[in-house]
Structure 1
């Protein structure tokens, strides 16, 4: 069985090597490359075989969030999990906004890191604790502005317009994404193929102008759970 290739970018050598050892000893993944800074990674990543990138946030010269932004602008095909010592709201929101597939604290247990890697490769987005619910509550009750806000609050007519642009199957898919189901479980629930679910997810990302499954979930929690609109 082919093992998924993992690379890591972190300026703390001890932590970086510790995570690399966890990957090497797992038997489930293979360790690709270690990078001490984001600039090195950005200059070399296209030469590497990467399925998942583990990315630190607070680094000299260029932050992990800036690296993530450039990765998305270049449409890199691999998945990204943020591993950070900082769980500040702004950092978490920025990571989600720019398409991270996961956000985990650096004190995550080794076995949990491996479990989250597996979940991400299965199409899920992973967060520490009850991240989606926490973010949804913050978005409802905070007056976030500028780049920290995922979306400005939509008036009911705008919500209705967006929902009317979705097919019934897309609405059902959106509801199940908000419940935390991955593509395989959504396909089973709706009696359709994984490939069809991927098409629906792609359409939803485009129609709602967001970048990740997690942002789709947050959109539902923020704009639909507190309104009279429901997803059938």
Structure 2
């Protein structure tokens, strides 16, 4: 089993130590470095080459959102998971829009944290079930507000999708990466990327996590039934 290099960014030393011990004991992760602030992290990224960054939201100086945006603009191949005490749907939605690969609460059971981080390394969604539901509820609420209290999603919305797009959306909802979806469908990664791009455009969404949340808020018909 490959060991993934991780960098921790959190201004609470005691919490960082606990997370570092959890990751190290799992034998799935290697903690490459720990940082208190964004200013300490950024100059070291090129040297460390982490696969995963665990990032606190609220820190002195540059906050986690600004740091997330900066990391993704410089190193879009690095997975970034927010590990935070904030259960605000505003923070959750903003993090996802900025490219976060996961959003976990600090009081999450340690075994669940490890499970979700391992899922991220496989290209899956790094959210707790409650975070997925919170995101789905937020998306549904925003659309309702935009329509003055009337849901603007027609019940036959899947009819706008092709059969392959619907199938791709089902796999995304199950947390599969493009590579795994391509394997399941017997097509290339680049073709899956086209389907994902089409889904984002047709559903007016901005990320894979929003697509996953969309299906929770607006379920597809059971497989085998016409869309």
1:129-173 Cα distance to aligned partner (Å, 9 max, x none):
33222322233235799xxx9xxx99569x97x975x65423320
Deviation (angstroms), 1:53: 0.6
Q: TM-score, normalised by structure 2?
A: 0.78
Map of 1:169 onto structure 2: 164
Structure 2 counterpart of 1:128:
128
In 2, the alpha carbon distance for the partners of 1:172 and 1:66 equals 35
In the other structure, the counterpart of 1:91 is 91
Structure 1 segments of 4 or more deviating over 6 A? none
- The TM-score normalised by the length of structure 1 is 0.77
Residue 28 of structure 1 and its aligned partner are, at CA, apart by: 1.2
Contact 1:38 1:62 in 2 (8 A): yes
Residue segments in structure 2 that go unaligned for 5+ positions in a row: none
Change (3 A) 1:169 1:206: same
Contact 1:52 1:81 in 2 (8 A): yes
- CA separation in 1, counterparts of 2:134 and 2:226? 21
Distance, in Å, in 1 between the alignment partners of 2:63 and 2:86 is: 13
**Kept in 2: contact 1:98–1:211 (CA 8 A):** no
CA RMSD of aligned residues (A): 3.3
Partners in 2 of 1:74 and 1:144 — Cα distance?
36
Aligned partners of 1:138, 1:94: CA distance in 2, in Å? 11
Residue 39 of structure 1 aligns to a residue whose secondary structure is: helix
